Structure 1
Amino acid sequence: MVRATGRRARRGATPSEQTSAAPRTGAARTGPVAIVVATPGDAVPLIASEPDGSAIEIVCLDGGGDSEYRALEAAVTEARRRGCRFSGDPFVLDAGVGSVTGQILDVFHETGPVRVRTLDPDPTHVGYDKERKLPIVHEPPARGQAARSALRAARRYQRAVGVPVFVDCRAAGTDPALPPESASRYPLPSRWLVSGKDGRLSAYLPTAAGVVRWTEGRTEAEGWSGPELLEGPDLMPGLTVVQGPDGYAYLIGLSRTDRKEGGADIEVVYAAQYQTGRPLGPWVKLGNPHTSWQVARSIGFPVAAFAADGFMNVFVRNFGRGISVLKQSPKGVLSGWEALRGRKVADEMAVFASPDGGVHLVARTRDGDGAVHWYHGNAASGTASGWQEDRRIPVSPRAGSLSAAPESGTVRFRYAATNEVCVWWPGAHAPIGLGGPDGDGPVAGVVGADIQGWGCTVLVRGGHGGVPAIGAHPDGRPDTGVWWSPSGERSIVPPATAFDSQGRVVIVTVGMDGRLRVARQQLGSDGLEFTPWRVQ
């Protein structure tokens, strides 16, 4: 492996094999994953966590030292043993020949990635300098520069070629052995398929250039339109999708705006989808729990849920590694950010409504494999009013697996010790195991599916190698167990599910070519059966 490859793409040039498969023609493309890092050593854990058979391109801002390069060579050799493919030596950029973002963009035009994996653009702090009033960050500055340049290049590339580019930023300080689903700075949504008021389905996912939407046609034969890039601010590549009591879909994320004097402002924002397939509503700024931009940039990703009274509750992990919450009334009136001073938490929270209409939150703790439960007490019901913390819950989630369950008032996760899928609800003495210890990431589902006349809960998760696995159990009886069955091909996002206008369970994924896959339940069949996967 040559240390300085000298490989350079001319700006805007695209090889003939990429041109012939350009998405504007409607043809599928299966592009590589571009790993963009500061030095060769930073690429090692990203290469190791790529699935078998991936096509990988490596981009380094700097050639690094000899020991780093030897580690990279070893990682590449091991990846090739697993069937991964590399088209050539790594791209090593030259800071003296122009913009780093421009050079990365050149590489993207040459290689045509569907996915981009990079580092943490705003790594969290390890302390606070009270005298200077600044966070203390131990991450080398070049890592943040690599990530921010990769994000900018990916946005420009996606807008130039007109196809989605999915970006994963690996959170700083995470265990190198963790898969991407368990170590992402900006998580993909577990719920991203929503039924509109007219019964048609819409799928929303975050990409480098913003949120893209696929929309179901008015007839099944019409298929789906999209992916359509929705206009909005520069968003970080994560998304939370919730549906309000009004039936509208609310898209929640983090915007990043460069400051004239340097640095960037990070704000929580949301937009509402009122009618299926119609333009998205305006993006509304919810601000940040912190006023100093140096402090504000380290917040976690927002999650949200609606209470029965119509208030939207939005939560983020704050600078102190506690939880901050903001409420918006049904008329759009915002409260201030309230800090919940309890146990320190990691960047992973699941929020859900309870049967009595309240809002609950389960967060993975920062230290260890535990979790903490927050709920809003009500003096009228005999509990203390305000937000209450419960640290004694039997939930031990694996990173990247927490999600609100389809049953009201419950949460799903993978047990840290075994990776088995579990379900728990406040007040339960222990979680219930549902099997499925293979794969990674959260579990999606629907309640009330018709299976031979029985009401059942249908679940879908990422299985071995990222292939979706489907299971079911009678409604309200998770203790009966779940028989999981793999279906389809590897998905680069967590699978999602919802009911269509005919009451059929619909499962959607995104294949390695970045295109939507859809399977529908076959009602009246012998058991739980789905149509063949259809590429949209």
Structure 2
Amino acid sequence: MARNTGRRARRGDASREQLQQGSPSPAGRASAVAIVVAGPADAVPLINSEPAGSVIELVWLDGGAPAEQRAMEAAVAQAKRRGCRFPGEPFLLYAADGNLTGQILDVLHEIEPVRVRTLDPDPAHSDFDRERKLPIVSEPAARGQVARSTLRAARRYQLAVGTPVFVDCRRAGADPALPAAACSRYPRPTQWLLTGKDGRLSAYLPTAAGVVRWTEGRTEAEGWSGPELLQGPELMPALTVLRGPEGYAYLIGLSRTKRKDSGSDVEVVYAAQYQTGRPIGPWTTVGNPNAASWQMARETGFPVATFDANGVLHVFVRNFGHSISVRRQTPKGRMAGWEALGGLRVADELVAFPAAQGGVHVVARARDTASAGHFFQQDVKAAWVENRRIPVSPYPGSLSVAPEGGVVRFRYAGSNEVCVWWPGAQVPIGLGGPEGIGPVAGVSGADIQGWGCTVLVREGTGGVAAIGAYPDGRPDTGVWWEESGEPSVVPPAAAFDSRGRVVIATVGMDGTLRVARQQLGSQGLEFTPWTVH
């Protein structure tokens, strides 16, 4: 059956006049973003959240009603005013021809995108049929169909061309005014740069085809190798990266396996890397708290994890009922059964960290209010305790674990300012930095003129990395933020190299790794120029 790969006018010459902006330069083509949706109205919030300078290619299944077209045209005009470019008319897919995945794949080969943005492949249920024991999803079926086909096509495209493709799925039902980072179905990576046991750095990032890795050479002169696609199951486009107590890197994600009858099984999986640059270990399944029903299991949130003070792994997910489920290792190293914490109905935004007494803490953004809940366990034998009265009001997509340990960072919902809070604190401490969006990463114990300091890195204006610092344990002294580098596809990350220098890493809009190192002995906190790998 033929695939529709040619450009299609949306409706008459007006669409050509509205969207045509000349041919992009080679550099522009390398940084193109493909927005693949069911119809023009679905494209509007994705266009609105694209940063200045983006090269946007539109792909949809249905031309939509006149009102949808007008809304899309207004979004395009606004995007052009902030410097975005639209190289040509939208691609129009044809459901009647079948093989949507093949059609989208052909489009991706023509567009050559570094980024792909689409809809929610597994939207949450709006009701539940108790007689049939099945969730009821009110989201139009075409949206999920296009999203799932896009994920498959992006995976095949990356495997064919061999370069990373970064995918973002916008959560169904999200506020149209929210930026992309605040309503992604799968969270953006935060602590994706890790120091191995031998002192070398590795960068792990989720892409359409799986996890890609860059590895630091044994000497600075060797540079970095990668990006290398790691072997593994078909993963959804997100990744939790965790450094274990023994210094190994743990990669945690959601796998999706097609069932023989119908639907797909979604499971939490993890793998470990024991030596820098070597192949990772086998991917092990942790299962799904709603495994009895694949229709319910597909809605599972993205996992987070932590090791407690005794080295026990704890894995947390948001379950079908919008509460938290946890599974942990037994003393023999196996995984115990899933345990539901109940209580607060939470969004798909959790962070976990160890407690000093040997247990763990979890902070979760509430589903229906601008607040958060705190769950903790003093040790593995103790009951879970819930506290909903914590002074944490996080902007969506901003929760992260602080490098000091036992501390949470977030952007205050009312101002977007970066804040820090720890269990027991009566109020959070503001750190400034209301520009940008998303979580904050960093390291503690950095040497700045002989002082131990915490260095933070976050997205600033237009996705450019913003770097700040304060004396260890004294966030109340304030933070001066300074932007550096170019816009990044992912939030910036930080780690120490083998000489104890802070290393900041980003990924340029062309998909290449960029690294800057701290200059020890300088006056203040200074970094080398960015190097591209």
Give the match's secondary structure for 1:300.
Answer: coil
Question: Of the candidates 464, 468, 481, which is equivalent to residue 467 of structure 1?
Answer: 464
Cα contact 2:28–2:55 (8 A) shared by 1:
no
Cα contact 2:360–2:378 (8 A) shared by 1:
no
Alignment of 1:300-319 (within 5 A): 300-319=301-320
Cα contact 1:31–1:111 (8 A) shared by 2:
no
Q: CA deviation at 1:264?
A: 0.4
CA gap of 1:535–1:439, structure 2 versus 1, over 3 A, is same
Deviates more, 1:66-75 or 1:339-348: 66-75
Distance (Å, rounded) in 2 between the aligned partners of 1:54 and 1:410: 35
Question: Of the candidates 418, 421, 425, which is equivalent to residue 421 of structure 1?
Answer: 418
Normalised by the length of structure 2, the TM-score is: 0.94
Tell whether 2:403 aligns with 1:402.
no
Cα contact 2:309–2:355 (8 A) shared by 1:
no
Q: CA deviation at 1:535?
A: 0.3
CA gap of 1:439–1:329, structure 2 versus 1, over 3 A, is same
Cα contact 1:214–1:227 (8 A) shared by 2:
yes
Give the match's secondary structure for 1:116.
Answer: strand
Q: CA deviation at 1:31?
A: 2.6
Post-superposition CA distance 1:236-258 (Å, at most 9, x none): 00100111111111100000011
Q: CA deviation at 1:330?
A: 6.2
Tell whether 2:176 aligns with 1:181.
no
Question: Of the candidates 488, 512, 519, which is equivalent to residue 485 of structure 2?
Answer: 488
Distance (Å, rounded) in 2 between the aligned partners of 1:148 and 1:484: 40
Q: Which residue of 1 aligns with 2:17?
A: none
Distance (Å, rounded) in 1 between the aligned partners of 2:94 and 2:478: 56
Alignment of 1:39-78 (within 5 A): 39-78=39-78
Q: Which residue of 2 aligns with 1:88?
A: 88
Cα contact 2:359–2:380 (8 A) shared by 1:
no
Distance (Å, rounded) in 2 between the aligned partners of 1:29 and 1:510: 17
Distance (Å, rounded) in 2 between the aligned partners of 1:313 and 1:5: 57
Q: Which residue of 2 aligns with 1:3?
A: 10
Cα contact 1:256–1:265 (8 A) shared by 2:
yes
Post-superposition CA distance 1:244-300 (Å, at most 9, x none): 111111100000011111100000000001100000100000100011000100010
Tell whether 2:524 aligns with 1:523.
no
Cα contact 1:5–1:90 (8 A) shared by 2:
no
Distance (Å, rounded) in 2 between the aligned partners of 1:535 and 1:59: 31
Post-superposition CA distance 1:173-207 (Å, at most 9, x none): 11111111111111122100010100000000000
Post-superposition CA distance 1:128-179 (Å, at most 9, x none): 1101111011100000001000000000000000000000000111111111
- What code does the residue aligned with 1:391 have? R
Q: Which residue of 2 aligns with 1:456?
A: 453
Distance (Å, rounded) in 1 between the aligned partners of 2:28 and 2:283: 32
Distance (Å, rounded) in 1 between the aligned partners of 2:29 and 2:11: 29
Q: Which residue of 1 aligns with 2:195?
A: 195
Cα contact 1:521–1:531 (8 A) shared by 2:
yes
Q: CA deviation at 1:446?
A: 0.4
Distance (Å, rounded) in 2 between the aligned partners of 1:301 and 1:164: 21
Cα contact 2:397–2:438 (8 A) shared by 1:
yes
Question: Aligned residue pairs: how many?
Answer: 516
- What code does the residue aligned with 2:272 have? A
Gaps of 5+ in 1: 7-16, 22-26
Give the match's secondary structure for 1:386.
Answer: coil
Cα contact 1:5–1:92 (8 A) shared by 2:
no
Q: CA deviation at 1:98?
A: 4.1
Give the match's secondary structure for 1:399.
Answer: coil
Q: Which residue of 1 aligns with 2:439?
A: 442
Give the match's secondary structure for 2:487.
Answer: coil
Distance (Å, rounded) in 1 between the aligned partners of 2:332 and 2:177: 46
Q: CA deviation at 1:29?
A: 6.8
Q: Taking every aligned residue pair, what percent have the same amino acid on both sides?
A: 71
Q: CA deviation at 1:71?
A: 1.4
Distance (Å, rounded) in 2 between the aligned partners of 1:28 and 1:496: 25
Distance (Å, rounded) in 2 between the aligned partners of 1:115 and 1:376: 40
Alignment of 1:105-504 (within 5 A): 105-290=105-290, 291-329=292-330, 331-378=332-379, 385-504=382-501
Post-superposition CA distance 1:447-474 (Å, at most 9, x none): 0000000000000000011110000000
- What code does the residue aligned with 1:176 have? P
Cα contact 1:5–1:91 (8 A) shared by 2:
no
Give the match's secondary structure for 2:526.
Answer: coil
CA gap of 1:293–1:457, structure 2 versus 1, over 3 A, is same
CA gap of 1:484–1:379, structure 2 versus 1, over 3 A, is closer
Q: CA deviation at 1:354?
A: 2.6
Gaps of 5+ in 2: 1-7, 14-22
Distance (Å, rounded) in 2 between the aligned partners of 1:221 and 1:344: 51
Deviates more, 1:472-481 or 1:65-74: 65-74
Cα contact 2:359–2:379 (8 A) shared by 1:
no
Distance (Å, rounded) in 1 between the aligned partners of 2:358 and 2:451: 27
Normalised by the length of structure 1, the TM-score is: 0.94
Q: Which residue of 2 aligns with 1:12?
A: none
- What code does the residue aligned with 2:346 have? V
Give the match's secondary structure for 1:214.
Answer: strand
Distance (Å, rounded) in 1 between the aligned partners of 2:106 and 2:293: 35
Give the match's secondary structure for 1:79.
Answer: helix
- What code does the residue aligned with 1:397 have? P
CA RMSD of aligned residues (A): 1.8
Cα contact 1:310–1:329 (8 A) shared by 2:
no
- What code does the residue aligned with 1:533 have? W
Deviates more, 1:86-95 or 1:409-418: 86-95
- What code does the residue aligned with 1:121 have? P
Tell whether 2:107 aligns with 1:100.
no
